[in-house]
Amino acid sequence: MELNGAIAIVTGGARGIGAGIATCLAREGARIAIADLPSVREAAEGTKSQLCALGVEAETFDVDVSSETQVQAMVAAVIERFGRVDILVNNAGVIRIAPVPSMEEADWDLIFDVNVKGTFLCAKAVAPHLIAQQSGRIINLASMAGKSGSPGVSAYCASKFAVIGFTQSLAHEMGPFNVTVNAICPGEVKSYMWDEVLSPVLAASRGVSPDDAFDDFIKERVPLGRPQTAEDIGQCAVYLCRADNVTGEAINVTGGSEMH
């Protein structure tokens, strides 16, 4: 796919991995729809300004991806603003930490509503447009947690396993219409999830600072010895947008900490 001038929706695009993906696509000339919650609109506007400084069009759109009404309205607004949609990046996601016996049902439901149902609803809303134009890309953000389970994050792992299964099934459905569907499985990216959720828990269990806990974890788990970045994930997204003959894949970007 030619990225210069393409229209890309990036959910959860206000910050972190989503902003990194949006930036990498914008550098290739794609026009970006940043779709995120109203509560992070300030961050979304900041990302928009950075993208526009690259010389591309960008706009923000409020959406809760777990609401079909909001998702359908967001996609309609993007098409009204830009005229079409070529790329959907399902990046919006949440995480909660708890062992199964103490996991709250509401937390389990939230994770599946955003990570799984949100991916489904956005794909459902965009798919008819991609089918009609006989071209497009859908990229779902899974995780290394969708390849191997870990203690304390059962709901998150289960949701990301589900995203990979959904990706494979949708790739079969969309293939006849020249639309590829792939997943990216990030490793340890020091984004909101790590800073606000994972690092504090890891730090408490190890008796060190959150930054030290993250650094120690990387040294222990990652063969390349360094964390991944939002830029790394964005580069993979650019590749998948350009790759005409790759579909149904779940590509690890983990520095070697996940190898299957």
- The catalytic residues are 156
CB atoms within 10 A of CB 130: 24
Give, as one character, the DSSP assignment of residue 228.
Answer: B
The values of phi and psi at residue 128, to 5°, are -60, -35
Q: Distance (Å, rounded) from C-alpha 24 to C-alpha 195? A: 23
- Phi and psi based region of residue 62 (left: phi greater than 0; alpha: psi -120 to 50; beta: remaining): beta
Alpha helices, H only, 175-229:
192, 199-206, 210-221
| H or E element, residue 34 | strand 31-36
